[in-house]
Chain A
Amino acid sequence: SAVISQKPSRDICQRGTSLTIQCQVDSQVTMMFWYRQQPGQSLTLIATANQGSEATYESGFVIDKFPISRPNLTFSTLTVSNMSPEDSSIYLCSVEGPLNTGELFFGEGSRLTVL
């Protein structure tokens, strides 16, 4: 299984600021995924990040609000821009598990609180 490290693990942010979350994987992976888990809710896929191409965003998420970088096969960042209290969530990075199983490995998440 892949080991996924996220930073920061938690942060408290002011309204209107932006925060970048980093995700580091201990092996090379083709696809990385960013999920959001709002308080008491399930996981919602924000976008899929492939190395060397622009991220693919799910309905309801846009690049201006959640810009993503994928500079190499082991690293990705997600920025939450111009934050509001509604952005208070856990943001989770994940990567594919064994080929064609559909399984994902998850990082421990970054818990953001926006005041």
Chain B
Amino acid sequence: GDSVTQMEGPVTLSEEAFLTINCTYTATGYPSLFWYVQYPGEGLQLLLKATKADDKGSNKGFEATYRKETTSFHLEKGSVQVSDSAVYFCALSDQGAGNMLTFGGGTRLMVKP
């Protein structure tokens, strides 16, 4: 079945540091890939997405590139801020599995001033 694996957290960075959160996936079809973010006390919000190989999703300074050859969708940001502190979830949606979203385990990011 489909699965998503993320690096375990927490990830603790200083403000303005470079961020990478690794995400790899397995899927039977040709999935769409997503990063969702959950700020403290809130529900999930879509951060960015990519629907086919080599697509790059970007939003709020975050980027992720759909790499079919390595089955990866790593999240990056060049300079994190304290306000980026949240839990980040990588997810995939596979049409072959009825478009259900499969989530990774989540990675907590803590950014210190």
Contacts and interface: CB of A to CB of B under 8 A. Distances in A.
Interface string A41-66: 11101000000000000000000000
B49 A42 contact: no
A92 to B, nearest CB: 6
A107 B99 CA distance: 19
B58 interface: no
A106 B95 CA distance: 20
Given A43-B89, A92-B44, A102 B34 contact: yes
Contact of B49 (A101, A107, A108, A109): A101
B: interface residue count bin? 20 to 34
B20 interface: no
A106 B100 contact: no
A103 interface: yes
Interface string B84-113: 000001001111000111011110000000
Contacts of B93: 101-103
A100 B44 CA distance: 20
Nearest to B102: A45
Task: Rank and list the top 6 A-B pairs by shortest CB-CB distance, nearest first.
Answer: A102-B93, A108-B43, A106-B44, A106-B43, A102-B32, A42-B105
Interface of B: 31-32, 34, 36, 42-46, 49, 51, 89, 92-95, 99-101, 103-106
Interface of A: 4, 41-43, 45, 92, 94, 96-97, 100-109
